[in-house]
Amino acid sequence: MNNESAYAQQKRPWLPVIVTLLIVAIGVTWAAFGLFKYGVWQNRGPGAGFFPVVAGSGAFFLGLIELFRKQERAESGGIKSIWPALGMALAIASIPLFGMVIAMSIFVMVWMALIESQRWWKSLLTGLGTGIALYLLFGLWLRVAFPQGIIIQLLQ
Amino acid sequence: MDILQSLLQGFATSLSFSNILAALIGAGLGIVIGAIPGLGSVTGVALLLPLTFQMDPITGIIMLGALYYGCMYGGSYSAILLNIPGDAPAVVTALDGYPLSQKGLAGKALFTANLSSFIGGTVGIIMLTFLGPVLAKVGLLFGPAEIAALILLALCSIGWLLGDNPGKGLISTFLGILLSTIGLGLAFGQPRFTFDSMYLLNGISFIPLVIGMFGFSQVLDMMVNRINTSGLTDKLGLRDSLLDRKEVLRVLPVSLRSGVLGNLVGILPGAGATTGSFLAYVMEKKVGRRGQDLGKGEIEGVAASEAGNNAAAAGSFAPLLSLGIPGSGTSAVLLGGLMMWGLQPGPLLFQQNADFVWGLISSMYLGNVMAVLAALAIIPFLVKLLRVPHAILIPVIAVVCVVGSYSVNNSMFDVWFMLGSGVVAYFMSVAKYPVAPLLLAFVLTPRLETSLRQALDISRGDPMIFFNSPIAVTLLSLILLFVLYPLAKSLFLRSRKKSDA
């Protein structure tokens, strides 16, 4: 994560609180499962629940302490990151349809054209270049079995 | 003298035109494979192994050895340039490498990585040459109790060393431990926290996690904050990448001591290059002149991690050749290769196949030299990557994240997991929780859990096993020092502030 990036005035002081609350919840869940389901000490040694209890309790108590401390100023951005993440999720969801290589080429083209406002031919060329590079490097040389996608399978 | 003579004979065997060419090809391929996130030295060696069966065994092992070294060099490139560690040890390299890149010193960071990799690797190979069999026996002194104490030492130092807020560093460490407990625990044979998902039975795959937490969260950050790097790309020529005399003198001692420590960690069965590079970084943070500034973009941080990592890689050959016990995943694949060539690694290998063993050891020198030459030659091309406009770089890095996480297990679940962990890591960073402690704890914990269980199984539940071993006692004392010293220091400073007021 970039530490040098510009810090905006803190608009969302609740974001660090939510993250810490989630950590506290995860800690208590892990500790409870470790304690009641997996067992802390079994057969004269640490059981499957030993580490979940130790680390879960640690995360829980330190998280609580963190909640009561004065909150540090969060980095800027926060919630805006949902849009690029959603765009990526859409591209990943389209892999079973188009196949890995074509889906990733389309992703690069659409991203460059719509989000980065690049000229269409530049977006098209970069998308095609990405697809060709992926196919040559991963498909041909390293023989990674990429998902082909329903459309290619139907065409075959 | 015997050793020197044998080594010279080894050089006579390995320094033929075809072997040098094989080393150069292996090193080049290794750098490319190591630099691609998701593919590490295990994949590289496994991919090349079938091709080398048609070669002379010595040429084959030279190529594989050079590829192994090349991967170690390449793993740091994506960590330094894009903040996407190519493999687990490169997580430590990214701590200082990427901040250096952001300061416009990517070339110097890459040069430091190459130079210290070379020094660390050479220290490791020299130690392997002269002390190999002895080191392997030292490695055997480390039973489960000692390994558990060593990994506990590494774990205890994570939270205190990384990040400005030790509380958040510790929470992040605990989260890493929690994540590592997902799946079928090796020590217990019982699925934990799988929530009835078959994808989680084998646990969380490290590479998709690291690509998401470092790489994809970086994409989100670049999108949201739109970091302007245009002014930073002016100093990216080869001349600007070279270290000056003062900088070389800063890197040299760090690389030497990290190389020795990394090599000693590398010979321990299962401790691995990540533990080697991290402990070297911890040592530098504690004893180095600029220890306090590590993590903010210091060449010493890159040097410690890379020298430790490469020396550990050389160290893992000691138990492989002397005892037939692979010290890392890659040396396990190499063990398979040696056996397919009809060689049986173990105490008799040095006597029965002396030509081969010394050919191999001399080829490691050759591989290291070829890898550093190939690596230095491509620095000017690598740093040009930073000149690529963000409009192209951001979607292409996102694609690399997707493809890299898929390639590990050919699994779409890993791709979704990468995306999820990227978003989580982004919000953690927004809330100022450091991500690196989580990843390091995630790598180290399974080994600690297994060793702890094994140690107590051996002693039938008697915890005195940790206090009867001088090695374990020393390591446990160091842990107390690591935990108590910062506590005592902060309490002392607080009381002094109060009394001053």
pLDDT tens for residues B72-108?
A: 888 888 888 888 777 777 888 988 998 888 888 888 8
The tens digit of pLDDT for each residue in B268-283 reads 766 667 788 888 988 8
Domain range for A26: 14-68
Which structure tokens are listed for B303?
């040097």
Among B194, B223, B442, the residue to mutate for chain A (most A Cβ within 10 A): B223
Q: What residue in A sits closest to B181 (Cα-Cα)?
A: A52
CB pairs under 8 A between A and B: 201
B177 with A55: Cβ contact below 8 A = yes
Residue A19 pLDDT greater than 50, yes or no: yes
Residues A86 and A106 both lie in one domain: yes
Q: For residues B119-125, give the mean pLDDT.
A: 88
pLDDT the model gives residue A96? 92
Residue A129 pLDDT greater than 80, yes or no: yes
Higher pLDDT: B481 or B21? It is B21
Q: A53 lies in a domain?
A: yes
Which structure tokens are listed for B443?
């790598």
Q: For residues B300-306, give the mean pLDDT.
A: 92
Q: A20 lies in a domain?
A: yes
Q: What residue in B sits closest to A47 (Cα-Cα)?
A: B188
Q: A106 lies in a domain?
A: yes
Residues A127 and A87 both lie in one domain: yes
Q: What residue in A sits closest to B212 (Cα-Cα)?
A: A85
Strand, helix or coil at B146?
helix
- Smallest CA–CA distance, residue A155 to chain B, in Å, is 23
d(CA A152, CA A101): 11
Lowest mean pLDDT among A150-154, B85-89, B423-427: B85-89
* pLDDT interval class at B347 (50, 70, 90): low
Residues A85 and A149 both lie in one domain: yes
Give percent of chain A with pLDDT exceeding 70. 84
Q: Which residues of chain A does B395 touch, with a Cβ-Cβ cutoff of 8 Å?
A: 107-108, 111-112, 116, 126, 130
pLDDT the model gives residue A81? 66
Within an 8 Å CB–CB cutoff, is residue B50 touching chain A? Answer: no
φ/ψ region of A146 (left if φ > 0, alpha if ψ in -120 to 50, else beta) reads beta
Residues A137 and A110 both lie in one domain: yes
Residues A85 and A151 both lie in one domain: yes
pLDDT the model gives residue B237? 62
Computed over every residue of chain B, the mean pLDDT equals 81
d(CA B192, CA B202): 10
Which structure tokens are listed for B467?
């206090």
> How many domains in chain B?
1
Residue B443 CB neighbours (<10 A): 22
Contact of B308 with B316, CB cutoff 8 Å = no
φ/ψ of B184, rounded to 5, equals: -80, 105
Residues A51 and A20 both lie in one domain: yes
Residues A87 and A129 both lie in one domain: yes
Within an 8 Å CB–CB cutoff, is residue B396 touching chain A? Answer: yes
Higher pLDDT: B263 or B226? It is B263
Q: A75 lies in a domain?
A: no
Residue A125 pLDDT greater than 90, yes or no: yes
Q: For residues A77-98, give the mean pLDDT.
A: 83
Among B220, B438, B462, the residue to mutate for chain A (most A Cβ within 10 A): B220
pLDDT the model gives residue A5? 41
d(CA A86, CA A110): 13
> How many domains in chain A?
2
Residues A93 and A40 both lie in one domain: no
Computed over every residue of chain A, the mean pLDDT equals 83
Contact of B330 with B141, CB cutoff 8 Å = no
The tens digit of pLDDT for each residue in B308-332 reads 988 888 887 777 777 776 666 677 7
Contact of B236 with B103, CB cutoff 8 Å = no
d(CA B101, CA B208): 23
- Partnered with residue B191 across adjacent β-strands are B184
- Smallest CA–CA distance, residue A93 to chain B, in Å, is 9
pLDDT the model gives residue B355? 76
pLDDT the model gives residue A2? 43
Q: A55 lies in a domain?
A: yes
Residues A114 and A149 both lie in one domain: yes
Higher pLDDT: B182 or A154? It is B182
d(CA B317, CA B200): 33
Higher pLDDT: A7 or B68? It is B68
Within an 8 Å CB–CB cutoff, is residue A130 touching chain B? Answer: yes
Within an 8 Å CB–CB cutoff, is residue B422 touching chain A? Answer: yes
Give the ipTM of the model, two decimals please. 0.87
d(CA B461, CA B481): 26
Polymer length in residues for chain A: 156
Higher pLDDT: A62 or B218? It is A62
Contact of A59 with A20, CB cutoff 8 Å = no
Q: For residues A35-47, give the mean pLDDT.
A: 84
pLDDT the model gives residue A9? 39
Higher pLDDT: A83 or B122? It is B122
φ/ψ region of B197 (left if φ > 0, alpha if ψ in -120 to 50, else beta) reads beta
Q: Which residues of chain A does B419 touch, with a Cβ-Cβ cutoff of 8 Å?
A: 85, 88-89, 92
d(CA B26, CA A73): 49
The tens digit of pLDDT for each residue in B379-424 reads 777 767 667 777 888 888 889 889 888 887 888 999 999 999 999 9
Residues A35 and A98 both lie in one domain: no
pLDDT the model gives residue B22? 86
Q: Which of B178, B395, B456 sits opposite A108 (nearest CB)?
A: B395
Strand, helix or coil at B183?
strand
d(CA B361, CA B349): 13
d(CA B445, CA B440): 9
Q: Which residues of chain B does A104 touch, with a Cβ-Cβ cutoff of 8 Å?
A: 399, 402-403
pLDDT the model gives residue B231? 46
Residue B295: name the closest of B171, B111, B163 by CA: B163
Residues A149 and A86 both lie in one domain: yes
pLDDT the model gives residue A138? 81
Q: Which of B39, B217, B399 sits opposite A107 (nearest CB)?
A: B399
* pLDDT interval class at A94 (50, 70, 90): very high
Strands (E), B148-297: 183-184, 191-192
B406 with A100: Cβ contact below 8 A = yes
- Smallest CA–CA distance, residue A53 to chain B, in Å, is 9
Domain range for B427: 2-500
Residue B194: name the closest of B209, B179, B182 by CA: B182
Give percent of chain B with pLDDT exceeding 70. 86
- Smallest CA–CA distance, residue B25 to chain A, in Å, is 15
Higher pLDDT: B444 or B209? It is B209
